Structure 1
Amino acid sequence: MARKCFFTGKGPMVGNNVSHANNKTKKRSLPNLRTVRVKLEDGTTVKLRVAASTLRTMKKRS
């Protein structure tokens, strides 16, 4: 399963760790994904991977 938010499509970002000697090594920043159960209209439940920031926005707007 991909490390992506179901609603916003947020995924991993790539950057550099930069040392004091200016040595650069690659790093990945992964999104803060949470597994959420969502009830559909027909009564079934589906598990979705949603970013925590998206959950905050959804909670604020409901």
Structure 2
Amino acid sequence: MAKCAICEKSAHFGNAVSHSHRRSNKIWNANVKSVRVKVEGGSKKMYVCTSCLRSGAVERA
């Protein structure tokens, strides 16, 4: 499971509940992309969530 390098957002766990109210495990994955980012004069590849990309928390290389 990938985790955002900026805000550390990752997957959440819970139950999927059917119509008959039976429960099974469910995972909600964060919308994380592999992006090349400008870091310290160079570029580095890291996992960043789309909310951090849209907010401008990182600058693409």
Determine the C-alpha separation between the residues in 1 that align with 2:19 and 2:34.
38
> How many residue pairs get matched?
57
Structure having the higher helix fraction is 1
* RMSD, aligned α-carbons: 1.5
Unaligned regions of 5+ residues in structure 2, if any? none
Regions of 4+ moved over 4 Å? none
Q: Can you give the 5+ residue segments of structure 1 that lack an aligned partner in the other structure?
A: none
**TM-score (norm. length: structure 1):** 0.79
Q: Structure 2-normalised TM-score?
A: 0.80
Q: 1:54, CA displacement in angstroms?
A: 1.0
